[in-house]
Structure 1
Amino acid sequence: MELNSNISAVITGGASGLGAATARRLAEKGVKVALFDLNEEKGEALAKELGGVFCKVNVTDDDSVEAGFEKARATIGQERILVNCAGIGNAIKTVSRSKEDGSIKHFPLDAFKFVIEVNLIGTFRCIAKSAAGMLTLDPLEDGDRGAIVNTASVAAEDGQIGQAAYSASKGGVVGMTLPIARDLSREAIRVNTILPGIFDTPLLAGAPQQVRDALGAMVPYPPRLGVPDEYAKLALCMIETSYFNGEDVRLDGAIRMAPR
């Protein structure tokens, strides 16, 4: 897919981190961008900077997502690109024993469900609604009608202690990549997924510098945190390369996560 001003894109979680970096890279190519996020202040500011549109969207809510796509398409046209970066995480053991009184606690099911709702179901919801819109477009000269990039995590394969919900949600994103790519193949819509390692995103922004340094030192090479723009470059490679389809690609500096 050739990226230019005739192409529109929707980026979920687009107000910061991996999503913002991807939006910037797409905008540099002339692509018109719509940012889906809950953070209005950051989202509006970035949309203004890039000449795009911000849509306040909760990916766990059908009506909110539908309204977001309606606003985006009314402003920048039907998207040919969807990049799913919206996501959350938590760290809770399946069961644990209290150090104070020995009582046993279990992972609150509502907390588990919420991570699945955002990371897995939210991603699928946006894929389905975006792909339905892409089907209304004619294929481009290279044959592509659309391209979708999802965000999983190395936790899909190397889940750490306390990451049962997070790993399950991201493992689900990996697991559905190929079947969705096959579902959409006859319609010339490609689907790929990136599995980022330890990246310098807002999730780590509040961590002490020694913690950030220690996390970076765990990476074989380069021994540092990933940079959001590196994610963005891989996302654009997936979008621009028409033979890139149905793949799940780790972007992690060769790290394999230890249990904790």
Structure 2
Amino acid sequence: MQIDGTSALVTGGASGLGLATARRIVEHGGRVVIADISEEQGAKAVAELGSAATFVVADITDEAALAEALDAAEQLGPLRAVVHCAGRGGDRTRIIGKDRTPGALDTFTEVVRINLIGTYNVLRLSASRIAANEELDDGDRGAIVLTASVAAFDGQIGQTSYSASKAGVHGLTLVAARDLASWQIRVNTIAPGVMDTPMLGRLREDIRDGLAASVPHPKRLGQPADFARLAVDMLENPYLNGQTVRLDGAIRMAPR
């Protein structure tokens, strides 16, 4: 499957990993709909990417908003590519506090709602649209890339909500690939490590430097362009299916 001449949906595409992915899709000759909750960032992204990009305000847990984004993508050309980057971090919350007070349930629920239930919502709605495509010569109708995290495998203390939500994304990847195989739709997932995104940009410089130094090789933070390159490779490689690929410079996170 080639990006050139097709349309793509990128959730969370107005900044960070999503914007880098949208940029690379356009560079490969595709047209892209950016679905994001930030109108200001969405307008900036479209101004940068030009006529090949369209912005739609969409909360990934909102079926009607996602339907609007998918409609917009289908108007640009055959929708064959979806890269789901939207999500949120989790507050550092211990299961029980020092005084044995249980951690708040509502914060855990909210992170899982956005990161896991939101992912499933994007997956099911986009797969329904892609399934209507004609089969390509390589056997694909389309491909979907999801985003997990290395926290799915080695989450740190206090990361219960985030780790659980991202482990859920990893867990559904192979099942989704098998489930959608009869429709010739591939599903893969990227599990990024410490990436230089707006979320990480809020940290102090010394903390960022320490994180970069903890990466075995290359000794730097991951760049959004690294993610985008892998995402497009996953979309275009016809034999890559059902995989979660760590993009982390071989880092393994410490307990804290």
Band of TM-score, shorter chain: over 0.9
Q: Which residue of 2 aligns with 1:87?
A: 87
SS across alignment from 2:23: helix
* Large movers: runs of 4+ above 6 Å: none
Distance 2:141 2:125 in 1: 15
1:78 Cα shift?
4.2
What one-letter code is carried by the residue in structure 2 that aligns with 1:19?
G
| Paired residues of 1:55 and 1:72 also in contact (CA < 8 A) | no
2:215 matched to 1:214?
Answer: no
Distance 2:247 2:136 in 1: 29
Paired residues, number: 253
SS across alignment from 1:111: helix
Q: 2:114 aligns with which of 104, 109, 118?
A: 118
Q: Which residue of 1 aligns with 2:30?
A: 31
| Paired residues of 1:134 and 1:146 also in contact (CA < 8 A) | yes
Distance 1:58 1:243 in 2: 31
Distance 1:199 1:106 in 2: 31
Distance 1:88 1:142 in 2: 35
Distance 2:2 2:59 in 1: 30
Scaled by the length of structure 2, the TM-score of the pair is 0.96
1:254 Cα shift?
0.5
Distance 1:64 1:22 in 2: 21
| Paired residues of 1:85 and 1:150 also in contact (CA < 8 A) | yes
Scaled by the length of structure 1, the TM-score of the pair is 0.94
| Cα deviation digits, residues 28-78 of structure 1 (max 9, x gap) | 01100000100111112212322211011111222222232223333x134
SS across alignment from 2:127: helix
2:72 matched to 1:71?
Answer: yes
| Paired residues of 2:7 and 2:73 also in contact (CA < 8 A) | no
Q: Which residue of 2 aligns with 1:100?
A: none
| Paired residues of 1:44 and 1:53 also in contact (CA < 8 A) | no
Deviates more, 1:12-21 or 1:136-145: 136-145
Change (3 A) 1:63 1:3: closer
Gaps of 5+ in 1: 98-102
Q: What is the RMSD computed on CA atoms of the aligned residues?
A: 1.1
SS across alignment from 1:190: strand
Q: 2:154 aligns with which of 152, 155, 158?
A: 158
SS across alignment from 2:163: helix
Distance 2:61 2:97 in 1: 29
Percentage of pairs with the same residue: 49
Distance 2:122 2:198 in 1: 23
Distance 2:105 2:74 in 1: 37
Distance 1:113 1:34 in 2: 29
SS across alignment from 2:79: coil
Distance 1:72 1:250 in 2: 28
Q: 2:137 aligns with which of 133, 136, 141?
A: 141
SS across alignment from 2:82: strand
| Paired residues of 1:78 and 1:133 also in contact (CA < 8 A) | no
Gaps of 5+ in 2: none
| Paired residues of 1:152 and 1:193 also in contact (CA < 8 A) | yes
1:22 Cα shift?
0.5
